[in-house]
Amino acid sequence: MRNVVVLAPALLAACAAAPGGPPVHGQVPGYVCNAEGADRFIGQPATAETGTAILRATHSASIRWVRPGMMITMEFSASRVTVRMDSEQKVIAINCG
């Protein structure tokens, strides 16, 4: 039993992501969302064209559209932008994750 206790920290360290290692679940290498300045899209219609412009402006690999009352998962992805819209399909908030 003592050997298991001694090995536990080494085994846990082996599970940690090393720099330059494989990407964390949900992240796309080379893309890191930055929503600074994305407020200019608030009030615009939630269209494919707006989504493409938001992706480009935030340097994100993927976009998650969130409608009113929609349940979403809480996992974080640094390469994803989340766009919330109102009942009239207008953008009301933009954030990373």
DSSP state string for 14-35 = HHSPPTTSSPPTT--TT-----
- 4-13: per-residue pLDDT in tens? 444 444 433 3
Token look-up 């974080």 returns 76
| pTM score above 0.85 | no
Mapping DSSP to helix (H, G, I), strand (E, B) and coil, where does residue 82 land? strand
Question: How high is the pLDDT of residue 80?
Answer: 96
Question: How high is the pLDDT of residue 71?
Answer: 95
Domains in the chain (CATH in brackets) are 21-96 (3.30.10.10)
What mean pLDDT is predicted for residues 53-72? 96
Question: How high is the pLDDT of residue 27?
Answer: 75
Which of 80, 82, 62 has the alpha carbon at shortest distance from 72? Answer: 82
Largest CA-CA distance found in the chain, in angstroms, rounded: 63
What mean pLDDT is predicted for residues 57-67? 97
- 1-51: per-residue pLDDT in tens? 444 444 444 433 333 333 444 455 567 888 999 999 999 999 999 999 999
The answer on pLDDT for 85 being more than 70 is: yes
